[in-house]
Amino acid sequence: MMRKIYLTALLAFAMLAGCSENSAASVLHSTGKLDTSENTATQKPDAKVNIKVAETARMSYDNYDNGYVSLQIPKGWKVDVPNTGYASYTFKAYDPEDPRYMFLFCLKLTGFLKSEDAQQVFASLYPDSVYGKLHAIDPQTTERFFEVWNHNAKVANETQLRYSYFPNLNQFNVVENLGQLPLGGDVLRATFQNDSGDAMQGLFTASLYDPGSYIMYGYDLAPLSSYHNVMMMAPDADFNDWATIMDNCIGTITFSQAFLEGYAREEEIMVSTVQANARIYDEITDMIMDSWERRSTSYDIASQKQSDATLGYERVYDTETGDVYKAYNGFSDDYSGSRYQAVSDDMYARPISGYIEK
């Protein structure tokens, strides 16, 4: 009888010990703080995990509608719509507190000659014409269109819009060509610097349209147009977190009947294209994101590692949820638990869910 009581006591003690361990693990997983008050001799106190949720992980949206175009934008953002008419309808959505975060849509840009020789001839014949001031697009590719963007944006800002609307893409460098869209135009992943010298990254597409030839003095002076110009950009270290959000916003673009009627009056030949685009923008943005998901992650790994080192972060992930966090430098030394572990290289391509702060 005494032996049975003794064994029962041992089993009860073992069960209590197991409950204590499970309880401690539960505290770690729910609060990030492990109670080691009874184990300080063998294990150092675990660091408190103080998580700040990333803005992009808890994004909410506003509905923008000006009677001509409607779309969703991140909450608190603004939309700037210059007076360019229907055919060249343009809008820019951006964070007024940090305009580095923005996306731009322009239905049509026109007046680009096909060669520098043709541009010089045109300029000599019509020195006051904008067409003669714009940089030629030679060769006629999306990449070349954005390589000479700064000059053409400056002309448009100064002669047509009369204010600094189109951003500059300094030192524009294509990281990867992600393929072509059904309406034409490549999707380019590129880096650049803004006018403040900040390292930036974005997705860019533009579909060049050649109306045919008009030969004068031995040169083709028929200008090119560029349709469905889209630019999404953010600071280089943050673009992975914003790409899907901006793309989803562009996918909500809807043109009103009033807009389509006005567009038909200005450019009847292309109205069917705009009507089609109004129906398939969501499909196009899905294709952009499909291309984005298939991108090479080698740039992500290198750039995100460099950014973390520069800004003083370690990158870890939650082994239970898979969420990735930027942690303060030294977190791995302070933290003695097992839930948050260092990321593998492929995880640098994932958007972050938040920050672990001291």
Looking at every residue in the chain, the average pLDDT score rounds to 85
Task: Residue 74: name the closest of 240, 251, 249 by CA.
Answer: 249
Q: What is the pTM for the complete model shown?
A: 0.82
State mean pLDDT over 234-260: 92
Tens digit of each residue's pLDDT (9 = 90 or more) over 58-105: 999 999 999 999 999 999 999 999 999 888 999 999 999 999 999 999
Question: What was the pLDDT predicted at 276?
Answer: 55
State mean pLDDT over 226-243: 94
Question: What was the pLDDT predicted at 275?
Answer: 54
Q: Is the pLDDT of residue 2 over 90?
A: no
Tens digit of each residue's pLDDT (9 = 90 or more) over 116-138: 999 999 999 999 999 999 999 99
State mean pLDDT over 162-169: 96
Question: What was the pLDDT predicted at 53?
Answer: 95
Question: What was the pLDDT predicted at 22?
Answer: 42
Q: Is the pLDDT of residue 277 over 80?
A: no
Question: What was the pLDDT predicted at 92?
Answer: 97
Question: What was the pLDDT predicted at 269?
Answer: 55
Q: Is the pLDDT of residue 227 over 60?
A: yes
Higher pLDDT pick, 332 / 12: 332
Higher pLDDT pick, 226 / 12: 226
Question: What was the pLDDT predicted at 18?
Answer: 44
